[in-house]
Homo-oligomer: A and B are copies of this chain.
C-alpha cells in the first residue's frame, strides 16, 4: 500500500523525530521527559513528534501515573524493508544472503 509507505517515509523524514525513534530503538522504553532532555526541542514538540510516530504505528505508549512511557514497534518497519528490497530488485529468493545483495546493489 502506497499510503503506508507514505506515512513511514514522511514520519521518518524529520531528523528530530527520527532521532527520537532511534533512541527508542536503541535504549528501549523512555518517558517523554527523558526523551525531551535529549531532543534539543521543547516538551510539546517532543509530544507532537511522538504523536506522529504513534500515528504511523512506529511507537506504542504506556501510561503510568502521570508519566507516559514510549517504546519502538519494530514490526512497523517491515513495509520499509520490503519496499527497499523490492526496489533493489531482490525478487529471486527470500533467503539471499546480504553480501550477495550488497554486491548487486553496487550500481
Q: Which residues of A contact B (CB under 8 A)?
A: 2, 5-6, 9-10, 12-13, 15, 18-19, 21-22, 25, 72-75, 77-78, 80-81, 84-85, 87-89, 94-99, 102, 104-107
Give the dominant DSSP class at A's interface. Answer: helix
Contact partner of A25 (CB less than 8 A), chosen from B13, B25, B87, is B87
Q: Would you list the 9 A-B pairs with minimal beta carbon distance, nearest first? A: A9-B13, A13-B13, A10-B13, A25-B87, A95-B97, A94-B98, A9-B12, A75-B105, A81-B84
CB A98 to nearest CB in B, in angstroms, measures: 5
For the complex formed, measure the closest distance between the CB of A57 and the CB atoms of chain B, giving whole angstroms: 11
Contact present for B95 and A98 (CB under 8 Å): yes
B residues in contact with A9, CB < 8 Å: 9, 12-13, 18
CB pair A75 B25 closer than 8 Å: no
Q: Do A84 and B95 have beta carbons less than 8 Å apart?
A: no
Name the CB-closest residue of B to A98.
B94
For A3, give the chain B residue with the smallest CB separation: B15
